[in-house]
Amino acid sequence: MSDRFRITLAQLNPTLGALEANAAQARAAWQAGREAGAGLVALTEMYITGYQVQDLIRKRAFVEDAIAAIEQLAKDCADGPALAVGGPWLEGEQLYNAYHICQGGKVTARLLKHNLPNDEVFDEVRLYTAGPLSGPVRIGPLRIGMPICEDAWHPDVAEAQAESGAQVLLVPNGSPYHRGKHDERLSPMVARVVETGLPLIYLNMWGGQDDQVFDGGSFALNPGGALAMQLPVFADSVTHLDLEETAEGWRIIPGEITPRPDDWELDYHAMVTGLRDYLGKSGFSKVVLGLSGGVDSALVAAIAADALGPDHVHCVMLPSEYTSRESLEDAAGVATRLGCKLDELPISAPRAAVTETLAPLFEGMKPDLTEENIQSRLRGVLLMALSNKLGEMLLTTGNKSEVAVGYATIYGDMAGGYNPIKDLYKTRVFETCRWRNRVWRDWMHAPAGEVIPPRVIDKPPSAELRADQKDEDSLPPYEVLDTILEALVDDDASVVDFEARGYDPEIVRKVEHLIYISEYKRHQAAPGVRLSKRAFWLDRRYPIVNRWRDAR
Residues 6+ apart with CB under 8 A from 161: 134, 135, 136, 145, 146, 147, 169, 196
The arithmetic mean of pLDDT across residues 464-488, rounded, is 82
Closest among 173, 444, 505 to 307, alpha carbons compared: 444
Q: How far is CA 471 from the centre of its chain?
A: 28
Measuring CA to CA, how many Å separate 180 from each of 137, 153, 173, 223, 261? 33, 16, 17, 24, 11
Measuring CA to CA, how many Å separate 415 from each of 146, 385, 425, 451, 527? 45, 11, 19, 26, 11
The arithmetic mean of pLDDT across residues 429-447, rounded, is 98
The CA distance from 39 to 45, in Å, is 19
Amino acid of residue 417: G
Amino acid of residue 227: L
2-47 confidence digits (pLDDT tens): 699 999 999 999 999 999 999 999 999 999 999 999 999 999 999 9
The string of DSSP letters for 8-66 reads EEEE----TT-HHHHHHHHHHHHHHHHHTT-SEEE--TTTTT-S--GGGGG-HHHHHHH
- Say what the pLDDT of residue 466 is: 67
Q: How far is CA 401 from the centre of its chain?
A: 18
The CA distance from 198 to 159, in Å, is 10
The reply to whether 59 belongs to the active site is no
271-307 confidence digits (pLDDT tens): 999 999 999 999 999 999 999 999 999 999 999 999 9
Using 50, 70 and 90 to split pLDDT, how confident is the model at 389?
very high
Least confident of 157-166, 408-417, 460-469: 460-469
Whether 552 has a pLDDT exceeding 80, the answer reads no
3-class SS letters over 233-280: ECCCEEEEEEEEEECCEEEECCCCECCCCCHHHHHHHHHHHHHHHHHH
Catalytic residue among 77, 102, 149, 340: 149
Four-CA torsion 360, 366, 367, 369, nearest 10 degrees: -110
The CA distance from 317 to 340, in Å, is 12
The reply to whether 472 belongs to the active site is no
- List, edge to edge, every strand of the sheet that includes 393-394: 341-344, 313-317, 287-290, 393-394
Using 50, 70 and 90 to split pLDDT, how confident is the model at 1?
very low
Angle at 92 between CA 89 and CA 97, to 5 degrees: 25
393-428 confidence digits (pLDDT tens): 999 999 999 999 999 999 999 999 999 999 999 999
Whether 464 has a pLDDT exceeding 70, the answer reads no
Closest among 7, 254, 247 to 141, alpha carbons compared: 7
300-352 confidence digits (pLDDT tens): 999 999 999 999 999 999 998 888 899 999 999 999 999 999 999 999 999 99
Exposure string (b/e) for 386-403, b if CB count within 10 Å is 16 or more?
bbeeeebbbbbbbbbbbb
Q: Is the pTM of this model over 0.85?
A: yes
Catalytic residue among 77, 102, 113, 433: 113
The reply to whether 45 belongs to the active site is yes
Rg (CA), the chain: 26
Catalytic residue among 45, 124, 150, 392: 45
Using 50, 70 and 90 to split pLDDT, how confident is the model at 499?
confident
In percent, the amount of the chain with pLDDT more than 70 equals 98
Indicate the SS3 state at residue 189: helix
Domains of the chain by start residue, with CATH: 4-260 (3.60.110.10), 264-469 (3.40.50.620)
The arithmetic mean of pLDDT across residues 534-548, rounded, is 87
Amino acid of residue 367: P
| Contact by Cβ (8 Å): 2, 246 | yes
Four-CA torsion 489, 494, 499, 503, nearest 10 degrees: 30
